[in-house]
Structure 1
Amino acid sequence: MIRDFLDVVANIFKSRILYVMIIIVALFASLVVRLFNLQIYNEDYYMSTYIKKAEKTIYNQATRGKIFDRNGNLLAYNELAYAVTIEDTLENNGKRSEKLNNIILNAIKIIEKNGDSIVYDFGIGVKKDGKIEYTMESPSAIKTFLINVYGSKELKDTKGRDISNASAKEVFDYLVRDKYEIDTGLGAEYDIKVAMIRYKLSLNNYQKYMATVLALNVSDKTVAAISESKADIRGVNVTQQSIRKYNEAEYFAPVIGYTGTISPDQLEKFTQDDQDYMPNDVVGKSGIEESFEYQLSGDRGSQTVFVDSVGKVVDVIKKEESNTGNSIYLTLDTDLTKATYKLLEQKIAGILSNQLVAYDIDFKKKAKEPYKASKKKKDEKIVVSIRQVYFQMINNNVLDLRHFGKKNASSVEKKMYKAYKNKTENILQKIESLMTDSPENYDKLDNEYQEYCDFVFNGLVDDNIIMKSMLDSSDETYSKWLDGKNSLKEMIMYCVSMNWINVANLELESDYVTADETYKAIIDYTKKMAKKSDDFAKLIYCYCLYDGSVSGTDICIALYDQGVIKKDENDKWYNNLQSYDKSVAYKFMKHQIDNLVITPAMVALDPCSGSTVVTNPNTGEVLALVTYPSYDNNKLSGSIDNKYWQKLVDDESAPIYNRATQTTTAPGSAFKMVSAMTGLEDGYISTDSTYVCKGEFTEITPHAKCWIYPNAHGSENVVEAIKDSCNYFFYNLAYDMSFASDGETYDSAIGLKKLEKYATSLGLNEKAGLEITEKEPKFSTESSVRSAIGQGSHGYTCSNLARYVSTLANGGKNYSLTLFLKEVTEDGEEVTKNKKKLENTVEAKQSTWDAIHKGMRLVCSDGTVRSIYSKMKIEVAGKTGTAEENKKRNTHSVFVCYAPYKNPEIALSTVIPYGDASSNASEVARDVIRYKYGELKLEDILKGKANKPEVGSSHD
């Protein structure tokens, strides 16, 4: 029995089944131990770890509320569109950065290959000529950008160096070369795009499943291409997002603003306000969109999900729906705004056309200010040479000068390009000579070569070859350069000797080079810089126009060739231009300006801008807030069209700038009602008091002249002085109120303080109260005598003037201006309604108000603009103003008014910077009033042409 048992045992040990069974039992035991460890002993730890890795929250942007005008016309709304997003799903390893760069680059290529563009909202950008520049002007915005890029609030780089004045090129090199190690092989344009996406991802700390938008509103072709390339672009997905759309963009863009990805500054502010925002949220960036962000934004939705190892959602745990933001109704009237914008544009075009002459004018030939007139004599009309206009077609990027050298360029474009190339070759030889031989000092060169020297030196500073931080005006050699007392060669060689050269940016083969080698490298760099620079090319074309190698006719034909002007089948102008008759080219350009084919904004010479604000003086509601020129906020909202943005930034007419609220000018004689009230209320004059105008006020030095000088107004009281806009009367009044209590000591500051009291009370010396950004007004700190007629150093916006004239119109009730009418929910339920805000009531005698109102009425019925307003059905009270700020440029044209005179319903202010006669602004205001009261039709205004000045120049 025992032997049998032992045999069985022996056979078992010899059997392979035993070992299989042992292995199975061991594995089973191991599994039991592991399950015990996971589910019982370490249950809490492993469950929390599992949840961290697999449970994710996906956020859904809320639909933004709409924006309407006062009559319910839709101005801003949303559309669903496809968006391309990217999430960082890569594991941390040595190749991670390189892989991420490749994924981003491949995604960008796919998007652009299919005709779409990426969302570009970055602090630096690459211009057409390859120049790296900041895309923002505000020093504080640049500072914040640098803090975020370098991760240092002390503005130090990783080596402890000061980067507070880092150039855009330095930031580019740091991000592309050092931080993200990007080398697309496609140049700076693509390197910077990849760097931007890496930067945006870094703001999320590269959190997985936190999407960053690459492109918005992409086509079906892009959607298909992204889906087909999934294997090569891990983490890139297509989602649906709402995009912001705007109606009547040309008229409302500066007021409505646009949306975009939240900036670090905004995120910090919103967080401080206890608002729930995240790094990739789309928010209002300017205008009403920014001001009413919290009301418009709504509440985001979210999904809590489980995902697998590659990020695919496998289960939805919890879902919260988003809530649409509330809608905002504005006080603005769409039709009135459109009419006002067109009337303003037509008048500016008429002034420009009226100033245009076919001959060259006396000018100091400087390409930075090409063909500007020299200091004018009294009452001498400033004119615009046709050659200025031709040059502006290139200088203001109406024509694409880079197309001139392309294979498919027209024969005329090739002709101009050849002239440019020939002149460039000669100029570069001359520049090299200036940098190598023994050149004359800067001030001995002619204006053209001074411009080239400026370009070279400033370009080397901008590109951080010469370190800007080292330049100190107290340095003797640099000071001589600023005064033009040394040569370009001497200045640059001095920079080399002082180690002010950033050798790394010269891309030398060795870090150890001699001074001579460094200087030679600078000369080579200068040549390359000039050849690729659009600014240098514009200088060359400027002087090609001057020397005749490029003609005005060439420019006119190029406008056709590049599609700026459309050619009809039997276009007589185009055919006539082929004769190359100078007079034809002049008449052609004038015709295009008169018909607003070439607009004042495109020409960007004085005048090219203006603003008008129309209010209800009894409530402070703004009915129209117009700034010319404008832009298309559809191209900036959510997904910025980078080329369009760059065009706006480079445009010399500054279309992105809201002139109604941010351009300050002296008010000129429109200020005189402040002076009148000060004199009447403080007892310096009565309504019966008179001063005898002698034309020239000699109590101060230099003497102050009345606008009518060498004539004189004679004896005038305050009403007559307002009617005739007599400067002498208000000079004398301000002089009398500027004496100390002893009655012997004249002190301008005393008079200024008295004037400021009433300017503030009337609402002029403070922001208008609008919900969008306004520039702070400036009360004059110079000469009470000159300040009393609106000169001195006064600076007020059109919106400041609108509040001021509204207060005058209603007899002293100083209401804050407002654009906000009401806020309603998606279902139409009213949340809040605006209530008029009375800041103060001006305490003044009725006789004072009567005198001011009567004087303003007489301005329009019998005074300086009687010929403009004499046929008006509606009685208007107003005041003209002209202000000279630059002897070489036109005066500003200003007009404030209200109507109807006896029962004011609207108040207006119009400002045309460098618009010459005040009558020009008053003609715009008159036509706005005529439209408001049915004398003009909108359809006729929209079809209108340039509106020439109706009366002669007046400077009152």
Structure 2
Amino acid sequence: MILNKLKDRYNIIILVFIVILVIIQFRLATIMIVQGEEYRDQAENRIIKTIPLPAARGEIRDRYGRLLAGNRPSFTIQMMKNEVIDEQINEVALTIINILEKNEDRYNDEFPVIFTEKGEYVFSYDLEIQTWKETNDLLDIETAQEAFEVLRRRYNIEETDPAEVQQQFIKIPNLSVPISIKTWKFTDEMRKEQWLQSYNIQDMEMSAYEAFEAVKNRTYEIPENYSDIEARKIMVVREQLRKQGYLQYQPVRIAQDISEVSVTEIEENIMSLPGVNIAVEPIRYYPEGEMAAHVLGYLGKISQQNEIDRFIKELNYLPSDIIGKTGIEHSFEETLKGADGSQRVIVDSFGRLREVLERQDPIPGDTVYTTLDVNLQRVAEETLVKVLETLQVGGVYETQWGTNRLLPAKGGPLTNATVGAVVVTDVKTGEVLALANYPAYDPNLFATGISMTDWQNLMPENERDPIAPRPLLNVATNTAIQPGSTFKMIVGLAGLEQGLSPDYKILDRGFIQIGGHSFGNWLWNQSRRTMGYQGLHQAIADSNNFYFYSVGNGYDYGVGRNLPIQMNMDILTEYTKMFGLNDRTGIEIEIPRERSGGVPSIENKTKTVKAMLRNHLRRQMRIDDLDDTMVEPTPELLLEVIEEIVSWAEENPARSVIYNKMLELGIKEDKASIYTDVSKYSYFTQARWSTADTMNFSIGQGEHAYTPIQMTNYMAMLANGGYRYNLSLIRKTQSYDEENIIEYPPELVERIPLKDYNNLDEINYAMHLVQTTGSARSYFNKLPINIAGKTGTAQREGKIPPLDEVEYLKKHLGSFGVSQAAVEHKTLQLMEENKDNPRYQDEGYAMREAIKSLNPKANLDQFKRDYDNYAWFTGFAPYEDPQIAISVLIFNGGSGGYGAPIFREIVAEYMGLNTVNEEDGFSIENRLAR
């Protein structure tokens, strides 16, 4: 019977179900009764977590493997978004922030509504815009487009197309223009709008307080029993969690590098802090502090839109990741980054580790080996600082290799000698051995995100002074100035290449009169003496301006006849460019981008003259200068008229033509006559190349503009037989397991095409005479190494602007012959009458114009200090077998010779003179022989 029933398929199905139900019931009974206590314990006290294991950032080392940037372990607070229930998140967040604040630990705060000391609610974005305006003296400018235009005029940028202007801004050192030319908004303004939209707030004009209330009450529904201060602390954490988006399994870093005290308190409260974890993560560490800071660069949070697009969207970085912002840290970001790992673990309800289920080890970033020599870098930096400090007090700089009093004969100590740079390269490879800037900064400040206080301390004290100390500025690669007499070797070489004998002597007569300009030799200007007859060698050694005025113009001014060679600006320009002074050097630092040189040309001069004329007309021309019977005067029309006048510079029409053209533009007759004369005789006639321009060109003055790193490469080419290398900071990159090594061999660009390479020997011999009989002999009389060098003094005209122009003017009103009441009244009047002119919205500028209108004879700058000259010392060593090229630049350094002690100490260090051990039985002579 039973067997017959089993033949029925429906009965079989029923039987199978019965068996399955019996098995399930048996298993449930086993789990709930027999093993119930065990599983209850696991459910209540064990949690499976995925813990990320951040990869250590790749190290940066010098050429010998000495550490420049590494990592150290630190405690990080992490929070897992998917492990915190909404009912607890507020208390958890508040507890964490209170612990951190109590122990003065910093935490990641990116919530953009902040409280001021006065209790006001403001957007951090608005404060950023305000700070930028203050930094760039644009406080009275309202719109981004207007600020953009003011900066274009201020920096004499002739281009008017916004994209082209933006490219010009990028070339200006230490200038950031956070303006979108697509929307004509400040980038922080756009970021604020994006933030509001992310919270579904459509009112872009909403105040910070209204936005705070909306987010607190509508988005996060924070109960009213929390104060606004407490609510903001909660929203700081919730903002971080919210940015994590769908990556809930990834922890959010709430704070990094916290103290052990905070760690202990959090561990003690871990039961009431679900989702919180203390992890040990590697933090960037720079063991040498400020050393080579501008080469290494610094780190920062992903913040700009282009960074978000590249790193988060394209490369899958986490929003909380730190990236390289400048220097090698930026240029080799992806090489240094590494790959994060993770591990799945079981922890109990107390957060204690019970078992590791699975582990994927992180892969450290690759090590970057630089070309720097730490010891040489240290000597360059320390010597630069000591020499600057000595110059500031007019003291004596003394080492075993020389003793020198650094005090000008006139004028007293160089108190403003506070900025300098040094570059050292290998002449045979183009490798950068040292690159020093002063002042510098400690990149450790940026390792976990720099504080606002530390950031402000890195800003220049006097923003109005373009050459004031700027710790973040890489002077060596981003400051281009005239080379002074260090340029004379190019002029001399061009003369030799054209057939001039180095023994051809020119009689120095002290000065040369060209029209209304007198061009004097420095010795004549200083003491009314001359140098007599000199050939090329001694002319370079003594830095004889008269000789190079003659060679540059192809005319012997000593006897009043042509030199036996052809010489013109095309030839001089060709040789200048041949030495790379119009190009970037190839150095790998991308941000801040290396500034290219500026070889003078008629095109550049015309561009400069046009910019100067544009600025003059914008200062002087008024709307009421336009004849309202011919045109309808408007600010826009006035700008168009000015641009039209400026456009005539290349043509340089006759005076009568200019006058008639101005009348056709609608300028009143009396004003047209004035502006015609100014345009014609003060500007248009200057927009051509003259003999006077060639005079300045020949001695490295005028429109020349080169960086210390360009000058070093130029010195290397003189030393190595004319071989031009791309300069490099990187030797190789190497993976942690040494499986993947990428070499960066020297890159030879070319050997410059000289007619006779022996001519370089003549130039180098002349530079050697600088040490033995020339302008720098007193600095090298104890150095047992022969060098080839050249002093250079580049003129810096103008007055040092005071920190506060208004304060300065008010202080000296009595000396200007005007009363305070009259000046204040006139200032307000001018500002009101010239609302359309941004310059007059600057109170300092308006006050100057007011004083000049009240007393045209007043010398408003008489109480300001003059800028001192830039001081250069460049060259190579040893003279007989060149190995290194060096350039030293000192702002407000007075005389080129003052860079010589720095040059000397670097040579001594490189040649091993400072490490001679008397006990090993080797003398300096024996050491050099080895």
TM class by smaller structure:
0.5 to 0.7
**How far apart in 2 are the matches of 1:185 and 1:785?**
78
Q: 2:903 aligns with which of 925, 928, 946?
A: 925
Q: Which residue of the partner structure matches residue 864 of structure 1?
A: 775
Contact 2:789–2:876 (CA<8 Å) still a contact in 1? yes
2:177 maps to 1:147: no
**How far apart in 1 are the matches of 2:724 and 2:112?**
41
Q: Which residue of the partner structure matches residue 666 of structure 1?
A: 482
Q: 1:914 aligns with which of 885, 892, 898?
A: 892
Q: 1:693 aligns with which of 493, 505, 508?
A: 508
Q: Which residue of the partner structure matches residue 63 of structure 1?
A: 56
Q: Which residue of the partner structure matches residue 136 of structure 2?
A: none
Deviations 1:549-575 (A, max 9, x none): xxxxxxxxxxxxxxxxxxxxxxxxxxx
Contact 1:882–1:894 (CA<8 Å) still a contact in 2? yes
Q: Which residue of the partner structure matches residue 810 of structure 1?
A: 720
TM-score for both structures, normalised by structure 2: 0.59
Contact 1:111–1:118 (CA<8 Å) still a contact in 2? yes
Amino acid at match of 1:108: I
**How far apart in 2 are the matches of 1:185 and 1:671?**
73
2:758 maps to 1:878: no
Contact 2:60–2:367 (CA<8 Å) still a contact in 1? yes
Q: 2:320 aligns with which of 280, 284, 291?
A: 280
* CA distance 1:822–1:663, shift in 2 (3 Å): same
Contact 2:421–2:436 (CA<8 Å) still a contact in 1? yes
Contact 2:110–2:239 (CA<8 Å) still a contact in 1? no
CA drift of 1:659 comes to: 2.2
Amino acid at match of 2:749: E
Alignment of 1:73-472 (within 5 A): 73-88=66-81, 104-119=93-108, 133-134=127-128, 138-140=176-178, 143-151=186-194, 176=212, 200-201=240-241, 203-205=243-245, 207-229=247-269, 235-265=275-305, 267-268=307-308, 270-271=310-311, 275-302=315-342, 319-354=359-394, 380-381=410-411, 383=413
CA drift of 1:912 comes to: 0.9
SS at match of 2:893: coil
Greater shift after overlay, 661-670 or 612-621?
661-670
* CA distance 1:342–1:199, shift in 2 (3 Å): same
Instruction: Kindly report the root-mean-square deviation, in angstroms, between the aligned alpha carbons of the 2 structures.
Output: 4.6
* CA distance 1:279–1:154, shift in 2 (3 Å): closer
**How far apart in 2 are the matches of 1:891 and 1:185?**
65
2:450 maps to 1:640: yes
Contact 1:382–1:890 (CA<8 Å) still a contact in 2? no
Deviations 1:735-758 (A, max 9, x none): 349xxxxx99xxxxx965543432
Identity value in percent? 30
**How far apart in 2 are the matches of 1:831 and 1:913?**
41
2:521 maps to 1:706: yes
Give the length in aligned residue pairs: 627
Contact 1:687–1:847 (CA<8 Å) still a contact in 2? no
**How far apart in 1 are the matches of 2:504 and 2:225?**
81
CA drift of 1:232 comes to: 6.8
Q: Which residue of the partner structure matches residue 631 of structure 1?
A: 441
**How far apart in 2 are the matches of 1:344 and 1:313?**
53
Contact 1:876–1:897 (CA<8 Å) still a contact in 2? yes
SS at match of 1:208: coil
Alignment of 1:494-643 (within 5 A): 606-643=416-453
Deviations 1:901-945 (A, max 9, x none): 1210111111111111111101210122122223335999xxxxx
Contact 1:761–1:814 (CA<8 Å) still a contact in 2? no
* CA distance 1:56–1:381, shift in 2 (3 Å): same
* CA distance 1:90–1:57, shift in 2 (3 Å): closer
**How far apart in 2 are the matches of 1:692 and 1:735?**
15
Deviations 1:113-171 (A, max 9, x none): 1232224689999999999743776224895444333229999x97787x9xxxxxx99
Amino acid at match of 2:429: T
Deviations 1:809-856 (A, max 9, x none): 111111111111122222344601220011121111124212211221
Contact 1:81–1:240 (CA<8 Å) still a contact in 2? yes
Alignment of 1:782-797 (within 5 A): 782=605, 783-797=693-707
Deviations 1:466-517 (A, max 9, x none): xxxxxxxxxxxxxxxxxxxxxxxxxxxxxxxxxxxxxxxxxxxxxxxxxxxx
Deviations 1:536-555 (A, max 9, x none): xxxxxxxxxxxxxxxxxxxx
**How far apart in 2 are the matches of 1:348 and 1:607?**
6
Amino acid at match of 2:581: L
Contact 1:307–1:313 (CA<8 Å) still a contact in 2? yes
**How far apart in 2 are the matches of 1:204 and 1:896?**
53
* CA distance 1:711–1:866, shift in 2 (3 Å): same
Contact 2:323–2:333 (CA<8 Å) still a contact in 1? yes
Gaps of 5+ in 2: 1-20, 26-46, 133-174, 181-185, 397-407, 463-468, 556-560, 606-692, 799-865, 919-930
SS at match of 1:872: coil
Contact 1:216–1:639 (CA<8 Å) still a contact in 2? no
SS at match of 2:378: helix
* CA distance 1:309–1:751, shift in 2 (3 Å): farther
Contact 1:121–1:640 (CA<8 Å) still a contact in 2? no
Greater shift after overlay, 342-351 or 72-81?
72-81
Contact 2:111–2:235 (CA<8 Å) still a contact in 1? no
Gaps of 5+ in 1: 1-27, 33-53, 164-169, 357-377, 385-604, 738-742, 745-749, 941-956
CA drift of 1:892 comes to: 0.9
Contact 1:62–1:323 (CA<8 Å) still a contact in 2? yes
CA drift of 1:352 comes to: 0.3
Greater shift after overlay, 143-152 or 781-790?
143-152
**How far apart in 1 are the matches of 2:419 and 2:723?**
31
SS at match of 1:251: coil
Greater shift after overlay, 346-355 or 249-258?
249-258
CA drift of 1:723 comes to: 1.6
* CA distance 1:894–1:265, shift in 2 (3 Å): farther
CA drift of 1:712 comes to: 2.9
**How far apart in 1 are the matches of 2:78 and 2:240?**
12
Contact 1:893–1:913 (CA<8 Å) still a contact in 2? yes
Deviations 1:263-282 (A, max 9, x none): 34464464599534232223
CA drift of 1:881 comes to: 0.7
* CA distance 1:310–1:762, shift in 2 (3 Å): same
